[in-house]
Amino acid sequence: MRTMFRGVGIAMVALFIGATAARAQVFYSYPGARPVTDTSPSLGLVAGFGDNVVRLGGFGRFNVSTKADLGLEAMYNNIKGEDSTDDTGFGGAGIDGKYLFFESRQDLQLDIAANVGAGFLARSGILQIHVPIGAIASHDFVMNDGRLITPYAG
């Protein structure tokens, strides 16, 4: 048991070392290191609200193999300038891939995947390029009623 906690601690520290660069996807964090399955692709909407920004987007994750999946994203950011009442809208898209390189096992019950992506946000005259490279670790907990809870760090 002590070895498992030590291994989880080391993996978490390794993931947090580069926390600013280690985003799981291009514009949002998809939960879990395991790839989605062929029978259950993941489609959804995301929203984020802050003091000066509203972020709305959609995503899809699709299985590529037993160890990899592919993510597609569309995103819209509306940013309010700090010194004005003008809003600036950015639209964009992204694509990323995730590869599960460490599956949970008896001595370390943690899934760890590498992730790389590319995307852009643009408006008239401005183009922002995003190229996130990172890792994500997670562990699945199955509840008594069959629900799955997956805490993760990336």
Three-class secondary structure of residue 14 per DSSP: helix
Tell me the pTM. Answer: 0.70
State the Cα torsion 14-147-99-13 to the nearest 10°. 0
Q: Name residue 16's amino acid.
A: F
Structure tokens at 46: 């995301």
For 23-71, write each residue's pLDDT tens digit. 346 776 677 888 888 888 888 888 888 888 888 999 999 999 999 999 9
> Do residues 25 and 74 lie in contact, with contact meaning Cβ atoms separated by under 8 Å?
no
Structure tokens at 66: 């037993």
